[in-house]
A and B are shown apart, each in its own frame.
Chain A
Amino acid sequence: AQSVTQLGSHVSVSEGALVLLRCNYSSSVPPYLFWYVQYPNQGLQLLLKYTTGATLVKGINGFEAEFKKSETSFHLTKPSAHMSDAAEYFCAVRGTSGNTPLVFGKGTRLSVIA
């Protein structure tokens, strides 16, 4: 079975500082990996995903993540935080078969301080 661990339920950064949200997965084979963002009272929005190919994945809003198989990690980063980045971030994993569901981590709430 696959699982996802997000380290830190709440991360607070200053505006302009580096954003680092950690995600580790457990899977018997390298899975597909995703990061979603959810703004207050809104639905999920896909930030980025890794399926195959380049392990450094660039997403929307300046975010990127790197798949590190040796560390079973898929941490999300952004060089400079903006106030509008304040939201809940979810890391998710799924198998490479086309009909497998996503398994979500518990989420990390990002706060950005002016």
Chain B
Amino acid sequence: SAVISQKPSRDICQRGTSLTIQCQVDSQVTMMFWYRQQPGQSLTLIATANQGSEATYESGFVIDKFPISRPNLTFSTLTVSNMSPEDSSIYLCSVNRDSGNTIYFGEGSWLTVV
């Protein structure tokens, strides 16, 4: 069974709306990482989510646009707010296990904003 369950797997969204992506991990992890992959591009780290504290955002990403929740050690959500076509991307969550020697990715949430 998958280490990370991510949903939705795909969605088509209207501009101006918001969508929340969920990641469920099959065991407790300290950090969860959220990435974005724009069409034809590489993966860019959006933020690091640590349970019990505010997420840490990378340069170019802000909490108002990408609010993150981390209510417990196995779950996190990323919301893409007030979406525009430029937000059409694959969004992935990731965790490190085995003292960081193994990295797992969710299957990705493929969002298209129209």
Contact = CB atoms under 8 A, between A and B. Distances in A.
B42 A96 contact: no
A98 B100 contact: yes
Contacts of A90: 42-43
Contacts of B108: 43
Contacts of B94: 101-102
B42 A99 contact: no
Contacts, number: 45
Contact of A104 (B30, B43, B48, B100): B43
Interface string B32-49: 010000000111110010
Contacts of A102: 33, 43, 45, 94, 103
Interface in A7-32: 32
A96 B33 CA distance: 16
A1 to B, nearest CB: 10
B57 interface: no
Interface residues of B, number: 19
A77 interface: no
Interface residues of A, number: 20
B42 A104 contact: yes
Contacts of A46: 103
Interface in B57-114: 92, 94, 96, 99-101, 103, 105, 107-108
A97 B100 CA distance: 7
Contacts of A43: 92, 105, 107-108
7 contacts: A51-B101, A94-B103, A100-B96, A100-B100, A104-B42, A104-B43, A107-B41
Top-5 shortest CB links A-B: A98-B100, A101-B33, A99-B31, A104-B43, A104-B42
